[in-house]
Amino acid sequence: MGNKKMILSIIIAIVAGFTVLSLINFFNRGEVNVLPLLLSVPIKVYILSFLIFVSSYFIEALRMMYLLYHRGYRVKFGQVLYNNIVGYLFSYLTPFAMGGQAFQVYHLSSIGVDSSYATGVMAARILQNSIGNMVIAIIMLNTTLGWLLKEGHIVIVGIAISLTSSTFLIISMAKPEILIPLVKIVSKIFKKEKWLQKYKKWSSDFRESIEYMWKKNLYIMFIDIFGWFCVIAIQLFSLFFIIKVAFHVDVNYWMLFGMINAVNALAYFVPTPGASGGIEATYQYVLSMLVKDSDIALKSITSWRFVAYYMQIILGTILMASSNSKALKADEQGGR
C-alpha cells in the first residue's frame, strides 16, 4: 500500500466513523459535534486504556513466535511484534479489515518464513476468530442475553455470517486445490501460465502446513486459541475500563465481552477501512442495551474507538515509518 492509498484510507475511515457517530449523536442528543463526546473522558483514562490495548500485541507476538519456533523458524521477538502491530494497521486501513493478514504473510516471508506456512498461520487465525465469535454468539443465545433476539435478530445474523465464512475457510484449508479452476481463469486473463504451476506447488505446501498444525500437532492450535481468547479479552477490557472508570457504570465484564463478540461478524461486514462506521453503530447499539443508557454507551464507544482504532493507526504508522527509515539508511550505507 502506497503512501497516497494509506492517506486516502485514513481519510475514509475518519469520515465513515465520525459520520456514523455524528448521526447517532444527533438522534440521541440533538447534536452533530462529537468533540464533547471525546472530551467526556479524562486524558489519564485514555492513556491507561491505550496501554491496556497495546499490551495485547505482546501476547499476539508470543503466539506467533510459538508457532514459528515450533516449525523451526528462529525469529526475533521484535520482528513478530512489528509484524503484529503493522498487521493491525493494515487491517484498520483496508475494507472488511482484511488487509492485515496479507501484510503479515508478506512480512514473514521477507524474514525467511515459508509463504505457505505463513499463509496457513494466518488462515488458522481467521478461522479461529470466525468460529470463536460464532461459539460465543451461540453461548449468548443460551444465557440471559437471549432477549437480544427480540431486538432485530442481530445475533442470528452474526452467527450466520460466522458460520458461512468458517465453512468456506475450512473447505479452502482442507482442499486448496478447489481453487485451481479459478487460478486457471485468472492466469489466462493475465497471460501468466506460470501462475498455475506456482499455485499447484504452493497449494501442496499449504496443505502440508495445515496438516502439520491441525492434524499432526493439534495441541499447538489449542494453545493458539487460548492466546486468541486472551488477546480479545484484553482488548475489550480497555473498553470495560473506560465504562467503569470514566462513567462509573457497574457493568458485568463477561456480559460485555459476550455481547460485543456475539455481533463482531456483523460489525465487520462493512466495506470501509477497518469496517469503520459499522463497528461504531453495531457496538453502540448492543452496549446501549447493556448499560441502559444510550448517552453513556455513545460516549464509551466514541472514546474507545479513538483508543482502539485511531491511536493504533498512529502507533502503527510511526512504527512502520521508523522501520522504513532505518532500512533506507542501511541501504544508503551499503551502497557507499
pLDDT at 127: 76
**247 closest CA partner among 61, 7, 98, 49:** 49
* Residues linked to residue 95 through DSSP beta bridges, in sequence order: 273
**How far are the Cα atoms of 13, 41, 80, 282, 322 from residue 32, in angstroms, in the given order?**
18, 18, 41, 19, 37
Q: How confident is the model at residue 10 (pLDDT cuts 50, 70, 90)?
A: confident
pLDDT at 152: 46
**Res. 78: pLDDT tops 60:** yes
**Res. 18: pLDDT tops 70:** yes
pLDDT at 142: 62
Question: What cell does 264 get?
Answer: 463482531
Q: How confident is the model at residue 190 (pLDDT cuts 50, 70, 90)?
A: confident
Dihedral sign (CA 194, 99, 57, 213): negative
Question: What's the whole-model pTM score?
Answer: 0.83
Number of Cβ atoms within 10 Å of the Cβ of 24: 22
pLDDT at 329: 66
pLDDT at 66: 92
Burial of residue 336 (CB within 10 Å: 0-12, 13-18, 19+) is: exposed
Q: Where are the beta strands (DSSP E) in 34-81?
A: none
Average pLDDT over residues 165-187: 72
Ranges 2-16, 132-146, 308-322, most confident: 308-322
Where is pLDDT greater, at 157 or 240? 240
Average pLDDT over residues 49-56: 97
Q: What is the pLDDT of residues 134-170, one digit of tens each?
A: 777 777 666 645 555 555 455 566 666 666 766 776 6
Q: How confident is the model at residue 249 (pLDDT cuts 50, 70, 90)?
A: very high
Tell me, what DSSP letter sits at residue 168? H
CA distance 266 to 275: 10
Spell out the domain ranges in the chain: 3-326
Where is pLDDT greater, at 267 or 232? 232
Give the contacts of 26 (CB within 8 A, at least 6 positions apart).
32
Give the contacts of 295 (CB within 8 A, at least 6 positions apart).
28, 29
> How many H-runs (helices) and E-runs (strands) does the chain carry?
16, 0
**Res. 61: pLDDT tops 80:** yes
| Lowest-pLDDT choice from 29-38, 62-71, 154-163, 292-301 | 154-163
CA distance 148 to 156: 9
Q: What is the pLDDT of residues 85-127, one digit of tens each?
A: 999 998 888 876 677 888 899 999 999 999 888 888 887 887 7
